[in-house]
Amino acid sequence: MSPYSPSLPTHSRNTNIIIKRIIVFGKISGIEKREFENILDQIIRVDHAGEYGATRIYDGQIAIFGKESKIGKTIQHMADQEQEHIEKFNELIIEKRVRPTALLPLWNVAGFALGAGTALMGEKAAMACTVAVEKVIGDHYREQQDLLEDDEKELKKTIAKFEKDELEHHDIGLEHDAESAPGYKIMTKVIELGCKTAIAISKKI
């Protein structure tokens, strides 16, 4: 995100209008309320799925590198933060009565495979994976903060904190020579596309 400041899609702009009406007039129509609640459900559902997938990616990388290697310790630091994120969204899923995505079993396998696969390609490839994934998640969290504005303050605060962690991971990847990985540009574009597709699907299913 700064690279993290995408334009909002139409549904996001519509939701911003609804939020502004809540702030200014203190009420919205029943249809608008349902739309707003649906957007909040999607935010929590997709963030829960994304953080779960991130934990599995790091699990896969640690399975290859081990926890005690130098790179393994770096990855474990990021994995610990992702674990905090998923635990929070586990709480929000229950608190807000949000249905988790039905595709968690798929993200379980796909995340681990992506992590292990890039780790087998070497440390730089593993870090390139981190850069790609965290860029998409960072962009996504920034968009959500713009969407929520001053409504749902606690959720917005949580997302802002998590965004900071994700950008830290992104920078750690760059600091560990991610850009020197063979096929860096192609690899990161493919991973970014996969992440964006997973986000779009998890919102609905």
Q: Is residue 1 part of a domain?
A: no
Residue 28 sits in which domain range? 10-204
**Distance from C-alpha of 28 to C-alpha of 150, rounded to nearest angstrom:** 16
**Consecutive 10-residue averages of pLDDT for the chain (205 residues):** 40 47 42 63 88 94 93 94 92 88 91 96 95 91 78 83 92 93 93 90 83
Q: Is residue 3 part of a domain?
A: no
Q: Is residue 82 part of a domain?
A: yes
Please tell me the predicted confidence (pLDDT) of residue 37: 67
Please tell me the predicted confidence (pLDDT) of residue 119: 96
Q: Give the type of residue at 116.
A: A
Tokens 């007039």 belong to which residue?
25
Tokens 């992104």 belong to which residue?
170
Q: Is residue 146 part of a domain?
A: yes
Please tell me the predicted confidence (pLDDT) of residue 62: 95
Question: What's the token pair of residue 203?
Answer: 């919102």
> Tell me, what CATH number does 139's domain have?
1.20.910
CA 191, 197, 202, 205 torsion-angle sign: negative
Q: Is residue 140 part of a domain?
A: yes
Question: What's the token pair of residue 2?
Answer: 């700064």
What is the domain count for the chain? 1
Please tell me the predicted confidence (pLDDT) of residue 73: 94
The pTM of the full predicted model, rounded to 2 decimals, is 0.77
> Where are the strands (E) in 52-200, listed by range?
none
Chain centroid to CA 95: how far? 20
Neighbours of 108 (CB within 10 A): 15
Q: Is residue 2 part of a domain?
A: no
Please tell me the predicted confidence (pLDDT) of residue 35: 64
Q: Say how many CA atoms lie within 13 Å of 181 toward its Cβ.
A: 28
Q: Is residue 178 part of a domain?
A: yes
Inter-axis angle of helices 30-65 and 153-175, nearest 10: 30
Tokens 């994976």 belong to which residue?
129
Q: Is residue 46 part of a domain?
A: yes
Please tell me the predicted confidence (pLDDT) of residue 33: 54
